[in-house]
Structure 1
Amino acid sequence: MDLSLHYTSFSTPADPKRIAPTLGRTARLAEEAGFAEFTVMDHFFQLEIHGTHDEPMLEAYTTLGFVAALTERMRLAVLVTGVMYRYPGLLAKTITTLDVLSGGRAQLGLGASWYEREQRALGVPVVPMAERFERLEETLEICFQMWSADNGPYRGKHYQLDETLCVPAPLTTPRPPVLIGGGGERKTLLLVARHGDACNLFAVSPEDVAHKLDVLRAHCDAEGRDYDTIRKTVLYTRPVLDNPDGFLAEAEQYAALGITQFDLIPTGDPIAFTEQVAERILPKVGSLG
């Protein structure tokens, strides 16, 4: 079982001058401790579930570029990129850039995007849900084409590219892995079965995740996809340090379902959180699964 650090807040410490050194120190500690992955959100306003909309928030891929320069091993990803926030060809180039500069550690995390407050505030088009999923699938197709030997045009319903040239190519072969986030049973998990190397579900309960995985397996059967080739991860939103033994007992249940990675959200001081997880949880979680 792997752990990933999902960095969602830039509010601690309060001084904006301390954001960069705190982020950097946290990332280095996470890598030294053995975290497998480091992720950030793709938001421009803070989510109300984490604070207030006007709390500090940094652009995701610039942030990962900063983290890439300070680390050497951890996988780096946005959990997850909002499909409406970037043109697909430019997104493919952004992921490629991160992959090249990090030494082959980039992962494309992609989701349908939903936070309309920031979209309307910053002028991002707000389109119906069905269209967002159409755009998500076209975005994946464009990224896959840009990461192939085919430099020709792409003609979709929503996107038309005259050339899909991407030089240099990603260092990761055959391409950076793709994680699709969300547990929507009719569309999201179908896209995982068609295109995803990994999925990310909310760790609501082992029973809920078991049901989502059953749905994913059924989609894989229908699509002719080997279910076992998909890496299964969950986002754990509860404070793990309040009850480490309880978390480990729950993690064992998830591991039995085939979950291979937990994404943990720092609470309070991210440096202190990472140090405590490294001391109290990481030495025990590696034996799960």
Structure 2
Amino acid sequence: MKLGLQLSNFTWKGRGPKLGENLAAISRTAEDVGYSSIWVMDHLFQIPQVGAAQMEMLEAYTALGFIAAHTKSASLGTMVTGVTYRNPGLLCKQVSTLDVLSGGRAMLGIGAAWYEREHHGLGIPFPPLKERFERLEETLQICKQMWSRDDGPFEGKHYQLRETLNSPQSLQKPHPPILIGGGGERKTLKLVAKYADACNVFGTSVEFVQGKFETIRRHCEAIGRDPNEIERTVLLRLDVGEDGEKAAEVVDQLGRLSEAGVQAVHGYLVGVDKMKPLEVIGRDVYPQVKDL
């Protein structure tokens, strides 16, 4: 099992003046203790599930570029890019640039977007859900075309590109892995089966996760795709305790998820800015789950 660190709360000790220093230290340490990937949320305001909108929130791709400069091996991505925030051509350029400058470590995490307040707050259009899914599929098509040898036009319902030119191309071939986040069974997971290299669903329970993976299997079967081509990942809150007293519980939790078919857990780590939880992951958790 692989572990990914999801960074969703940047309200750390020292706040603004220390934010870059803290982010660099957390990223380096995460890589050192065994995390294979580092993820940031793609939000502009802090989300209600974490805290007040006024709390610190970094722009995702700027933050990933910074993290790339302070790490060497971890994959880097958003958990997940909201399709509404960027023109698809620009998004593909951002991910391609990250891939080239990081030495081939970028991933495109993407979803249909949901946080209406930050859209209206910063003047970003927030179309109805049906349209957001249409835009998501077109964005996936555009990115795949830009990562191919076809640099011709793209004519979609919502996006029209005269040239899908993308130079330099990504280092990863045929393209950086595409991860689609979300668990909607009629639309999201159908897009996973058609376009994604990885899925990400909430690790609510073993039964919940197994149900989502079974739905992906059925969608893959319907289009003749091997579901084993899609990496199965979950998003989870991990709490090892202030001094590691909950580490065994986390190992058990990850073991159950592995039995349910989970291949990677991308987790928000409680108290990550204090660094001790990262040390606990490296000492008491990762060695126990890496071979699952």
Q: TM-score, normalised by structure 2?
A: 0.96
1:208-223 correspondence runs (5 A): 208-223=208-223
Kindly state the Cα deviation for residue 251 of structure 1 after the two structures are TM-superposed.
1.4
Of 264, 267, 281, the residue aligned with 1:264 is 267
Q: Tell me the secondary structure at the aligned position of residue 106 of structure 1.
A: coil
CA distance in 1, matches of 2:277, 2:69: 22
Contact 2:26/2:272 (<8 A) preserved:
no
Q: Provide the residue aligned with 1:118 in structure 2.
A: 118
Q: Provide the residue aligned with 1:168 in structure 2.
A: 168
Q: Stretches of 4+ moved more than 6 A in 1?
A: none
Contact 1:12/1:269 (<8 A) preserved:
no
Q: Provide the residue aligned with 1:287 in structure 2.
A: 291
Kindly state the Cα deviation for residue 220 of structure 1 after the two structures are TM-superposed.
0.6
CA distance in 2, matches of 1:240, 1:82: 30
Q: Provide the residue aligned with 1:61 in structure 2.
A: 61
Contact 1:12/1:268 (<8 A) preserved:
no
Q: Tell me the secondary structure at the aligned position of residue 281 of structure 1.
A: helix
Q: Provide the residue aligned with 2:136 in structure 1.
A: 136
| Alignment pair present for 1:273 and 2:277 | yes
1:223-257 alpha-carbon deviations (Å, 9 max, x no partner):
11100110000011252446222222221121122
CA distance in 2, matches of 1:4, 1:177: 15
Cα RMSD for the two superposed structures: 1.1
1:287 alignment partner AA? D
Larger deviation, residues 188-197 vs 29-38: 29-38
1:89 alignment partner AA? G
Q: Tell me the secondary structure at the aligned position of residue 264 of structure 2.
A: strand
1:46-57 correspondence runs (5 A): 46-57=46-57
1:127-169 alpha-carbon deviations (Å, 9 max, x no partner):
1101100000000000000011001000000000000000010
Kindly state the Cα deviation for residue 276 of structure 1 after the two structures are TM-superposed.
2.2
Kindly state the Cα deviation for residue 18 of structure 1 after the two structures are TM-superposed.
0.9
CA distance in 2, matches of 1:120, 1:191: 27
Larger deviation, residues 50-59 vs 252-261: 252-261
Identical-residue share of aligned pairs (%): 48
1:162-241 correspondence runs (5 A): 162-241=162-241
Q: How many residues align?
A: 288
Contact 1:8/1:266 (<8 A) preserved:
no
| Alignment pair present for 1:254 and 2:257 | yes
Kindly state the Cα deviation for residue 120 of structure 1 after the two structures are TM-superposed.
0.5
Q: Tell me the secondary structure at the aligned position of residue 214 of structure 1.
A: helix
Kindly state the Cα deviation for residue 13 of structure 1 after the two structures are TM-superposed.
1.3
Q: Provide the residue aligned with 2:98 in structure 1.
A: 98
Kindly state the Cα deviation for residue 275 of structure 1 after the two structures are TM-superposed.
2.0
1:174 alignment partner AA? P
1:200 alignment partner AA? N
Q: Tell me the secondary structure at the aligned position of residue 185 of structure 1.
A: coil
Contact 2:238/2:270 (<8 A) preserved:
no
1:283 alignment partner AA? P
1:211 alignment partner AA? G
Contact 2:106/2:176 (<8 A) preserved:
yes
CA distance in 2, matches of 1:132, 1:272: 40
Gaps of 5+ in 1: none
| Alignment pair present for 1:244 and 2:239 | no
Q: Tell me the secondary structure at the aligned position of residue 259 of structure 1.
A: coil
Kindly state the Cα deviation for residue 287 of structure 1 after the two structures are TM-superposed.
2.4
